[in-house]
């Protein structure tokens, strides 16, 4: 049979809008196929008026192209970039669960802390995702030198099945990518910037490792290291403030967890872990040194306790504030 006779035709049935922001919207949808085939997906759109502004259009397209090549258990998968009623849309994996921001908010309401071993487990999985992304090579075999640049609780999901996923590579940079932004442009959320990123200096993968250290601190304590709203305030706090001990909030945190966290949060990049895989090794040695430690299933059981009102079998419980 002539392969040119095949056409890939996909139809999408919108279930409902999930979120709306300055750049576009996110929908929960079913991707429809022949003979009753369907697959639940997320659809991320960009506002039509932004398509005329090359900066936003190129950033959106670059995200789709870049993340489509990243296939890893702990990274939200991108399936396709499509023409969407005269605009553009990214078809992506739907993660049925919550973000770390949602989890932090719920724990704050309960006046409770995430068990330290589960915090370490979650961060080890994000470190696995970063190790894969940082070391990813292009089709020509050359390293992409990819930096996520926006590792933060709102971009880290945990499915109800306990699988941790790093999402939203919208402002990621690869050396081979089209330069949609200036090299010195500061993007990312102010409370989660590394010192070099906040100053607009050239950054590499070690910047993501610092930011992941900030996420670990917040998971352990329920508090941001740098509760700031502006980049200027972040720079001041980087200069003047020392990282407090998470054990001041939660004495059950082991000295070894704090030691690893403090290496991640070294202000000077040369003093940090140099590769995400180094963090994975350290954290997993800590977790499994006695032969047994946290698993996806254990994390899923914990989410059942923390979110008892949620029917985990429903795709979009009405009572949940779903991930942005």
Spell out where 161-258 has E strands.
164-166
Residues 150 and 255 sit within 8 Å (Cβ to Cβ): no
Nearest to 171 by CA among 159, 156, 183, 158: 183
Last residue within a domain, chosen from 69, 93, 117: 93
CATH number at residue 66: 3.30.200.20
Last residue within a domain, chosen from 59, 93, 127: 93
- 262 and 285 together in one domain: yes
Domain-located, residue 112: yes
- 42 and 171 together in one domain: no
**Confidence at residue 320, expressed as pLDDT on a 0 to 100 scale:** 41
Give the total number of structural domains in the chain: 2
- 244 and 157 together in one domain: yes
Nearest to 75 by CA among 14, 136, 140, 144: 136
- 216 and 194 together in one domain: yes
- The C-alpha atoms of residue 247 and residue 140 are separated, in whole angstroms, by 47
- The C-alpha atoms of residue 170 and residue 187 are separated, in whole angstroms, by 10
User: Buried b / exposed e across 209-231, counting CB within 10 Å, b at 16+?
Assistant: bbbbbbbbbbbbbbeebbebeeb
- The C-alpha atoms of residue 233 and residue 261 are separated, in whole angstroms, by 23
Domain-located, residue 268: yes
Nearest to 161 by CA among 93, 75, 96: 96
Exactly one of 30, 62, 108, 150 is catalytic; which is it?
Answer: 150
Domain-located, residue 237: yes
**Confidence at residue 117, expressed as pLDDT on a 0 to 100 scale:** 96
Pairing of strands 164-166, 25-32: unpaired
Domain-located, residue 2: no
Domain-located, residue 321: no
Last residue within a domain, chosen from 93, 116, 131: 93
CATH number at residue 186: 1.10.510.10
- 164 and 272 together in one domain: yes
Chain segment 239-282, per-residue pLDDT in tens: 888 899 999 999 999 999 999 999 999 999 999 999 999 999 99
58 among known catalytic residues: no
Question: CA dihedral in degrees (109, 113, 114, 120; nearest 10)?
Answer: 140
- 101 and 244 together in one domain: yes
Domain-located, residue 312: no
Chain segment 24-38, per-residue pLDDT in tens: 889 999 998 888 888
Structural domain harbouring 237? 97-306
- 101 and 89 together in one domain: no
**Confidence at residue 171, expressed as pLDDT on a 0 to 100 scale:** 67
- 64 and 126 together in one domain: no
Residues 90 and 63 sit within 8 Å (Cβ to Cβ): yes
User: pLDDT truncated to tens, each residue of the chain (324 aa)?
Assistant: 444 444 445 688 899 898 887 778 899 999 988 888 889 999 988 887 777 777 778 878 887 888 888 999 999 999 988 887 778 889 999 999 999 999 999 999 999 999 999 999 999 999 999 999 999 998 889 888 899 999 999 999 999 999 999 998 866 665 545 544 444 456 678 899 999 999 999 999 999 999 999 999 999 999 999 988 898 989 998 888 889 999 999 999 999 999 999 999 999 999 999 999 999 999 999 999 988 899 999 999 999 999 999 988 876 544 443 433
Residues 90 and 60 sit within 8 Å (Cβ to Cβ): yes
């Amino acid at each position: 049979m002539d392969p040119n006779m095949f056409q890939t035709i996909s139809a999408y049935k919108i279930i409902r809008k999930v979120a709306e922001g300055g750049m576009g919207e996110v929908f929960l949808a079913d991707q429809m196929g022949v003979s009753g085939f369907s697959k639940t997906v997320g659809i991320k759109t960009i506002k039509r008026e932004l398509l005329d502004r090359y900066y936003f259009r190129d950033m959106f397209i670059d995200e789709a192209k870049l993340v489509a090549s990243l296939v890893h258990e702990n990274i939200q998968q991108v399936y396709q970039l499509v023409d969407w009623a005269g605009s553009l849309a990214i078809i992506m994996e739907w993660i049925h669960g919550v973000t770390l921001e949602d989890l932090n908010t719920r724990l704050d309401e309960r006046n409770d802390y995430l068990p330290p071993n589960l915090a370490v487990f979650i961060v080890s999985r994000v470190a696995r995702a970063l190790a894969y992304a940082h070391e990813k090579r292009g089709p020509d075999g050359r390293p992409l030198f990819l930096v996520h640049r926006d590792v933060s609780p709102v971009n880290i999901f945990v499915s109800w099945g306990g699988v941790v996923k790093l999402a939203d590579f919208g402002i990621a940079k690869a050396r081979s990518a089209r330069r949609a932004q200036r090299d010195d442009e500061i993007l990312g959320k102010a409370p989660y910037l590394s010192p070099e990123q906040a100053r607009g200096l050239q950054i590499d993968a070690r910047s993501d490792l610092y930011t992941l250290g900030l996420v670990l601190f917040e998971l352990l304590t329920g508090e941001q290291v740098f509760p700031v709203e502006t980049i200027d305030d972040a720079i001041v706090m980087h200069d003047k403030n020392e990282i407090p001990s998470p054990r001041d909030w939660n004495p059950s945190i082991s000295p070894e967890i704090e030691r690893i966290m403090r290496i991640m949060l070294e202000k000077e990049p040369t003093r940090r872990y140099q590769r995400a895989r180094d963090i994975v090794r350290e954290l997993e040695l800590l977790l499994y040194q006695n032969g047994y430690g946290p698993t996806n299933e254990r994390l899923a059981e914990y989410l059942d306790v923390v979110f008892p009102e949620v029917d985990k079998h429903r795709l979009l419980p009405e009572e949940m504030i779903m991930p942005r």
